[in-house]
Structure 1
Amino acid sequence: MPAILSRSLAIGLIACFIGSGDARASAIVADAAPAASLADGRVGAVAFESVTPRQIMDFVKRAPSDKAVVTGRLSLPTQAKGPLPAVVILHGSSGVNRGEWMWARRMNALGYASFVVDSFSGRRIAQTERDQTRLSMAADIADAFAALRLLATHPAIDSRRIAVMGFSRGGVAALYSALEPFRKAVIDDGLRFSAHIAFYPSCGIHYASEHLDGAPILMLLGGKDDYTPAAPCVAYADGLQAKGARVTVKTYPDAYHGFDRFTSPHAVPDATSARLCHGEYDLDTGRFTMAGGDGVVSGEAARLAAQACLSRGVTLGGDPEGRAQSPALVADFLKSAFAGER
Structure 2
Amino acid sequence: MLRLISCLFLLLGSSLFPATADVLADLSGEPSGAISFMSITPRGPTELMEGSGTATAIAGALHVPSGTTAPGPAMVIMHGSGGILPGREGAWAQRLNEMGVATFIVDSFTPRGFAATGDDQSRLPLAASVADAFAALNLLATHPKVDPKKIGIMGFSKGGQLALYTALEPFRRSVAKDDLRFALHIAFYSSCSIPYLASRTTQAPIVFLLGQEDDFTPAEHCRRYAAFFESHGSPVSFQIFPNAHHGFDLPTDLRYLPRAQTARKCGLDIELEPRLMARRWDDNSSIPPSGISSYLRTCMERGASYGGNAAALASAIESVRSSVTHHLLARN
TM-score by length of 1: 0.89
Matched residue, 1:133: 122
Q: Kindly report the root-mean-square deviation, in angstroms, between the aligned alpha carbons of the 2 structures.
A: 1.6
What is the DSSP-based 3-state SS (H/G/I as helix, E as strand, rest coil) of the residue aligned with 2:321?
Answer: helix
Matched residue, 1:155: 144
Q: What CA deviation, in whole Å up to 9, does each residue of 1:8-55 have, x standing for no partner? A: xxxxxxxxxxxxxxxx64233363321011001111111000000002
Change (3 A) 1:242 1:340: farther
Q: What CA deviation, in whole Å up to 9, does each residue of 1:43-87 have, x standing for no partner? A: 11110000000021121022x311110000101113223212000
The answer to whether the 8 Å contact 1:25/1:95 transfers is no
- Tell me whether 1:187 sits opposite 2:164 in the alignment: no
The answer to whether the 8 Å contact 1:57/1:286 transfers is no
Counterpart CA distance in 2 for 1:297 and 1:303 is 14
- Tell me whether 1:71 sits opposite 2:59 in the alignment: yes
What is the DSSP-based 3-state SS (H/G/I as helix, E as strand, rest coil) of the residue aligned with 1:185?
Answer: helix
Matched residue, 1:307: 297
Counterpart CA distance in 2 for 1:260 and 1:66 is 34
Change (3 A) 1:152 1:301: closer
- Tell me whether 1:202 sits opposite 2:191 in the alignment: yes
What letter corresponds to residue 83 of structure 2 in structure 1?
G
Matched residue, 2:310: 320
Change (3 A) 1:115 1:291: same
What letter corresponds to residue 237 of structure 1 in structure 2?
A
Q: What CA deviation, in whole Å up to 9, does each residue of 1:115-144 have, x standing for no partner? A: 000001111121111111010111111000
The percent identity for this pair of structures is 40
Aligned length: 318
The answer to whether the 8 Å contact 2:267/2:282 transfers is no
Following TM superposition, by how much is the alpha carbon of 1:238 offset from its aligned partner in structure 2, in angstroms? Answer: 1.3
Matched residue, 1:84: 72
Matched residue, 1:5: none
Unaligned runs of 5+ in 2: 1-12
Counterpart mapping for 1:171-186 below 5 A: 171-186=160-175
Matched residue, 1:3: none
Following TM superposition, by how much is the alpha carbon of 1:244 offset from its aligned partner in structure 2, in angstroms? Answer: 2.1
TM-score by length of 2: 0.92
Matched residue, 1:60: 49
Change (3 A) 1:295 1:29: same
Unaligned runs of 5+ in 1: 1-23
The answer to whether the 8 Å contact 1:86/1:162 transfers is yes
Matched residue, 2:328: 338
Counterpart CA distance in 2 for 1:336 and 1:293 is 38
Higher relative contact order (CA 8 A, sep 6+): 1
